[in-house]
Amino acid sequence: MNDTNSAVAPPTGGPADPAANDGLVAANRILADQGVLDGYGHVSIRHSRAADRYFLSRSKSPAIITAEDIMEYDLDSNPVDQQGRLMYIERHIHGEIYKARPDVNAVVHSHSPTVIPFSVTTVKLRPICHMSAFLKNDVPNFEIRDCDGMTDLLIRNAKHGAGLARVLGSSNVALMRGHGNVCVGADIMTAVYRAVYTEVNARLQAQAIALGGPATFLAPEECELITGRRDTNFQRPWAMWKSRISIK
Amino acid sequence: MNDTNSAVAPPTGGPADPAANDGLVAANRILADQGVLDGYGHVSIRHSRAADRYFLSRSKSPAIITAEDIMEYDLDSNPVDQQGRLMYIERHIHGEIYKARPDVNAVVHSHSPTVIPFSVTTVKLRPICHMSAFLKNDVPNFEIRDCDGMTDLLIRNAKHGAGLARVLGSSNVALMRGHGNVCVGADIMTAVYRAVYTEVNARLQAQAIALGGPATFLAPEECELITGRRDTNFQRPWAMWKSRISIK
Amino acid sequence: MNDTNSAVAPPTGGPADPAANDGLVAANRILADQGVLDGYGHVSIRHSRAADRYFLSRSKSPAIITAEDIMEYDLDSNPVDQQGRLMYIERHIHGEIYKARPDVNAVVHSHSPTVIPFSVTTVKLRPICHMSAFLKNDVPNFEIRDCDGMTDLLIRNAKHGAGLARVLGSSNVALMRGHGNVCVGADIMTAVYRAVYTEVNARLQAQAIALGGPATFLAPEECELITGRRDTNFQRPWAMWKSRISIK
Amino acid sequence: MNDTNSAVAPPTGGPADPAANDGLVAANRILADQGVLDGYGHVSIRHSRAADRYFLSRSKSPAIITAEDIMEYDLDSNPVDQQGRLMYIERHIHGEIYKARPDVNAVVHSHSPTVIPFSVTTVKLRPICHMSAFLKNDVPNFEIRDCDGMTDLLIRNAKHGAGLARVLGSSNVALMRGHGNVCVGADIMTAVYRAVYTEVNARLQAQAIALGGPATFLAPEECELITGRRDTNFQRPWAMWKSRISIK
C-alpha cells in the first residue's frame, strides 16, 4: 500500500553511503528473483552514519527498484525529502523495529509464499537444517487482532509497528498472521540470507510433515553453535544471487 | 475452443480507446507469464464508451496476443466485424457477465492450476491472507450439470453463460467445476490482480491444509475493511508484472 | 538408453514430408520446455506415406534435437539408414504401438514427473477437468514384471513393446510402473496435447487428493462429449508452445 | 563455509587434465541450473593422474565457478598452492571419501531441497523409478550427533569427513541429517546424474506418499539389473544439461 502526504520533514542524517544504497537496491531485486518478494514487500537499511534514520524505496515493486527510488526517513517514518513520491504505508514496520532493536540495521518485510501458511496454523515454523538455524526454536507470530482488533491487516501506523516489534522481541524472524513476515539482521546480507532461508525452511518443513513420521529438528545447542560462529559466509550466496539480476 | 460463423453483425460502439486495448493485451500476457492462464483462457474489457459492447481477442493463446487480435462484440457475443477470424466459443462467459453485472468492466476466464482442485472437492476456497480478501467467505462454484445436464463443460451458449453469471451473483470470483474460474473487476487491473491472487490464495490454502492443525482465515470484518479501502494500489504489482513481458 | 548395431536395413517408405519432420522436432522441444520430457524420453510420428515406417530421432535428449537427427524405422524398429548413429533402445515402444494401433500416427514416451507416482500406487489417474477428458476413466498401467519378470524396466525388445501395446489397448494413455507413460494420437498435435495435459491432470488430481474431501471427476458421458467433438482446437496452445522454443 | 589458512603445502600431483577441469566447472553449473545446488554445496573430482590428489573450487557458489577457481588438494584436504584463496571448510567431505573409496572419482555435496526432508524423518528414501535404481534399498543417513555430539552440523575436519565416509560405506548416496547429502561416482557424469536423479526420486516419492495407497518400489533385483548394465548413457542428459548453461 502507499501513502502520499506527510506533515513533518525531519532533517537528513547526512548523505547516504552510495555502496550501501546499491546494496539495498540489489537486496530488493535479489529477493524478488528468489521468489521471496512479490509485487508488494519492501527492504530497508539503517543510515550508516545516523542511527535515527533509515533508507527505503518509494512505493514500488521490489523487482524494479533503482537507486533513484531510495528515500530517507526518521524513525517515526517521516520522509526527509518526499519530493511528492508515493510512500509505502507499512514503512512503520521499519521505523518501529529500528527503534526497538539497536542491533538491527536491515529489515525485510515479505509475503514469502510458503511462510504464510505457518502464520495461520498452530503448526510452528522450526529450524530443520543448519542453513536456517537463525530461526531457533520459537519463531513468534504477530496477530494484529491482539494489537488493534479488526483491521485491514496492514501495519498502518506506529501503534501497529510497535506491536509487531514487541512480538519480534529479540528474534531474527517474526511471522505476521495472514499477511507475511519480517526478517532482520545486523546488515543487509544477513537480513537477505535470513529471508531466503526462512522460505527454504518453510518448504522443507512442509515437505517433511507431508512425508509423515516424526521429524528431527535442530537442537537448541546446534542453533547456538551455528548462529554463534564467526564465519557466517553470507557473501558466498549473495555473489551468486547478485549475478542473476541486472540493475539499470 | 473456437468458432468461425456468426449470422448477426451488430453496429460498433465506436472506436476503441487505444490505451484500454493495450491494457487488454498486457493483461493477457501478464496472466500467461504469471502462470494463471494456460494456452486456453481469455480476458475481456467492456467498451469504455458503449456499455453494451466488449473487447476480446480472436481465438488465440493469451501469451501471444497482439493489439490486432482484439475484436468487438455485443453482449449477445456477436462480433461487430469478424473479418473471418476464429472466435472463442466461450465468449458467452464475457457477454452474459457484462449483462448481469453493470459494475463489472473486465472479466478473466482461466484454468488457473491450483484453483481447479478446489472446484472438484467439498473443501471451500477461503481468504487466507489480506491480498486475497476479495474472495470473502463464500466463493461460489458453478456446476454446469445443474444448468444443462451432461455437457462437454464448455460455456457454449448464452444459457450456459447466464447460468454462470447467476452463480457468480455479486461475487468477485466464481469457480467452475472441473474447468476453471472467472474473476471480475471494475477495471482491468483489478480483474488481473484478483486472478493472480486467487491462484496465490489457492496455493497458500492448500499448503496450510497440508500442514495440518486448524487454520485462521480472514474474518468477514477484515475482508470488508480490506476490500472497502480506497488505496487499493493494484498499479504497484501491475508495473512489475508488465516489466516482465514484451509486447510486439 | 541407446543402441548402436542393426543387422537389417529395410527399404525406405519414401522421402519424409519436411513439414511433418519439422513438427516432430518442434514436438520434442515443446515437451522438454513444458517439463514433460526430461533428458530421456522420445517422440515419433508414423510416415505419412508409408504406414509401415515411422520417424524418430537418433539417441539424443529431446530439448536439443534438430531435423538432421530424425531417422526412419520399419515397424520392427530396424533403421532404414543408420549411418552409424546411436539409436534409442526403447524404440520398440513406437514400432509395436504402430503395429497394434492403425489409428495412431504419433507416440510420446516420457518420464512426465507427476505421472510416475500414479504408476506406483493403487490410486488411479482419473480425468479431473475437461482438458484431460481423453484419459477417460480407466488409464491402464503396464507392469513389466507381468510381461517379462525381473528386468531393468526398459522396453528393450519387441516382446516388451508388444506387451505395452497390449496393455495400452484402445486407450490414449498408458502408465508404465516405476518408469513413465506413453501418450498416443492420430497426429502429432494431439499426442503432444495429451502428454502435456496428462501431466497437468496428475498435478491437479494430486492437489485435490491433498485437499481432502470427496472429489468429483468427469462423468463418462462428459468424457465422451468432450473427446467426440470436432473442434478440438489443439493448434491454439501449440502455437503458443512453439513460440517459446527456438529451433536451430 | 570457507577457510583461509593452511600450514602444509603438499606437492602437486602434476598438471590437471584441462578437459577434466572443464567438466568439473560444467558439473557445478549444471547442478546449480538443475536446482540441486544452492549457493552452497560443492563438487570435486579426483586427480586423473594422482589418486592422492583431488580438484575442488575455491569457496564460491557453484553457479558462478570458472576454471580459474579450481584448486588442487591432497587427501587430507591441504591445498597444493592456496594463493590466498578462500577454501570450503567442508572440503574434508571430499578428501575422506576419496581415502575410503578408491572406486570413487567424483563427489557432489548438495543441499538438494527435496532430499533434506528425508534426512530428518524416519521415512526412508527408496528407488521409485528406473532412473534412480542407484539408490538401491538402503540409503544411509549420517547423523553427526553420533560422530561428534552437538556441532554446527558442518563437516569441519577429518573426523567428521571420515565419519560420513564410514556411513556412506559402499553406497552411491548418503543423506546428512538436517544438512544435505553426498552423491559419488566413478566419474563426474555419473556423480552428476546421481545428484539430479536423487532429487527427482525424492520429489516422486513424496508425491507418491501424498497420493496415499501402498507404493511399489523397485525390487532389489531390478536395481541390480539396472545398475549392472553397461549402457548407462549418462552422456545423453549431460549434453542437454550442458546446453542450458554458459561458461565464461
Reported as a single tens digit per residue, the pLDDT across B170-188 is 999 999 999 999 999 999 9
Is B115 a residue whose pLDDT tops 70? yes
Is A138 a residue whose pLDDT tops 80? yes
How many C×D Cβ pairs under 8 Å? 104
Is D6 a residue whose pLDDT tops 60? no
Please name the member of A203, A213, A222 whose beta carbon is closest to the beta carbon of D121: A213
Is D225 a residue whose pLDDT tops 70? yes
Distance in angstroms (rounded) separating the CA atoms of residues A113 and A133: 20
3-class DSSP assignment, residue D108: strand
Closest residue of chain A to B208, computed from CA coordinates: A117
Q: Which residues of A touch B222 (CB under 8 A)?
A: 150-153, 178
Q: How far is D240 from chain A (nearest CA, A)?
A: 21
Closest residue of chain D to C210, computed from CA coordinates: D210
A248 pLDDT tier (thresholds 50, 70, 90)? low
Distance in angstroms (rounded) separating the CA atoms of residues A93 and A44: 10
Distance in angstroms (rounded) separating the CA atoms of residues A154 and A144: 9
Rg of the Cα atoms in chain A: 17
Scanning chain B, the segments in alpha helix (DSSP H) are: 18-33, 92-100, 116-120, 144-148, 158-168, 188-211, 220-227, 235-243
Residue A88 per-residue DSSP state: E
Residue of C72, C90, C96, C199 with catalytic role: C90
Neighbours of chain C (3+ CB pairs under 8 A): B, D
Distance in angstroms (rounded) separating the CA atoms of residues B28 and C240: 13
Question: What residues of chain D have any CB closer than 8 angstroms to a CB in chain A?
Answer: 1-3, 32, 38-40, 59-64, 89, 111, 113-114, 116-118, 120-123, 150-154, 177-180, 206, 209-210
Average pLDDT value for residue range D10-22: 95
More confident residue, D1 or C33: C33
Q: Locate C216 and state its grid cell.
A: 468429483
- D97, D164 in Cβ contact below 8 A? yes
- In whole angstroms, how far apart are CA B75 and each of A69, A113, B100, B154? 44, 39, 10, 18
Q: What percent of chain B has pLDDT over 70?
A: 96
Identify the pLDDT of residue C3: 63
Mutate which: B126, B129, B203, vs A, most A CBs within 10 A: B129
Mutate which: C199, C216, C221, C223, vs B, most B CBs within 10 A: C216
Sign of the four-CA dihedral C219, C224, C225, C226: positive
**Which ipTM did the prediction report?**
0.95
Reported as a single tens digit per residue, the pLDDT across C178-229 is 999 999 999 999 999 999 999 999 999 999 999 998 999 999 999 999 999 8
Angle between helices A235-243 and A18-33 (to 10 degrees): 70
Q: How far is A135 from chain B (nearest CA, A)?
A: 18
Distance in angstroms (rounded) separating the CA atoms of residues D44 and C144: 38
Is A5 a residue whose pLDDT tops 80? no
Strand ranges for chain A from DSSP E: 2-3, 42-46, 53-57, 70-74, 87-88, 106-110, 141-142, 173-176, 180-185
In sequence order, what are the residues at sequence separation of 6 or more whose Cβ sits closer than 8 angstroms to the Cβ of residue C1? Answer: C40, C59, C88, C89, C90, C154, C156, D231, D233
Closest residue of chain B to A37, computed from CA coordinates: B237
Identify the pLDDT of residue B230: 79
Q: What percent of chain A has pLDDT over 70?
A: 96
Identify the pLDDT of residue C207: 97
Reported as a single tens digit per residue, the pLDDT across B7-27 is 668 999 999 999 999 999 999
Q: Which residues of D touch C115 (CB under 8 A)?
A: none
Q: What is the dihedral of CA B234, B128, A114, C124, to 10 degrees?
A: -120
Reported as a single tens digit per residue, the pLDDT across B38-50 is 999 999 999 999 9
**pTM: predicted TM-score of the whole model, two decimal places:** 0.96
Q: Would you call B90 a catalytic residue per the annotation? A: yes
Please name the member of D113, D178, D210 whose beta carbon is closest to the beta carbon of A210: D210
Is C248 a residue whose pLDDT tops 60? no
Is D246 a residue whose pLDDT tops 90? no
Identify the pLDDT of residue D210: 96
How do beta strands A141-142 and A173-176 pair?
Answer: parallel
E strand or H helix at C182: strand C180-185
Reported as a single tens digit per residue, the pLDDT across A160-191 is 999 999 999 999 999 999 999 999 999 999 99
Reported as a single tens digit per residue, the pLDDT across A44-94 is 999 999 999 999 999 999 999 999 999 999 999 999 999 999 999 999 999
Is D215 a residue whose pLDDT tops 80? yes
Rg of the Cα atoms in chain C: 17
Q: Which residues of D touch A205 (CB under 8 A)?
A: 117
- In whole angstroms, how far apart are CA B82 and each of B16, B19, B72, B87? 15, 22, 8, 8
Closest residue of chain D to A242, computed from CA coordinates: D64
3-class DSSP assignment, residue B35: coil
Identify the pLDDT of residue B109: 98
Q: Locate D94 and state its grid cell.
A: 571430499
Identify the pLDDT of residue D138: 86
Mutate which: D33, D209, D231, vs C, most C CBs within 10 A: D231
- A230, D2 in Cβ contact below 8 A? no
Identify the pLDDT of residue B8: 67
Identify the pLDDT of residue D58: 98
The three-point CA angle D44-D45-D48 to 5° equals 160
Question: Which string of b and e fits A157-169 if b means at least 16 CB within 10 Å?
Answer: ebebbbbbbebbe
Identify the pLDDT of residue C120: 98
| Contact (CB<8Å) D203/C113 | yes
Rg of the Cα atoms in chain D: 17
Q: How far is A219 from chain D (nearest CA, A)?
A: 8
Please name the member of D32, D61, D153 whose beta carbon is closest to the beta carbon of A226: D153
- In whole angstroms, how far apart are CA B127 and each of A40, A120, B206, B219? 18, 11, 12, 9
Distance in angstroms (rounded) separating the CA atoms of residues D71 and D21: 10
D230 pLDDT tier (thresholds 50, 70, 90)? confident
How do beta strands C70-74 and D180-185 pair?
Answer: unpaired
Q: Which residues of C touch B29 (CB under 8 A)?
A: none
Neighbours of chain D (3+ CB pairs under 8 A): A, C
Distance in angstroms (rounded) separating the CA atoms of residues B26 and B245: 8
Reported as a single tens digit per residue, the pLDDT across D152-176 is 999 999 999 999 999 999 999 999 9
Mutate which: B60, B90, B153, vs C, most C CBs within 10 A: B153
- C37, C113 in Cβ contact below 8 A? no
In sequence order, what are the residues at sequence separation of 6 or more whose Cβ sits closer than 8 angstroms to the Cβ of residue D140? Answer: D167, D168, D169, D171, D174, D175
Identify the pLDDT of residue B138: 86
| Contact (CB<8Å) D128/C120 | yes
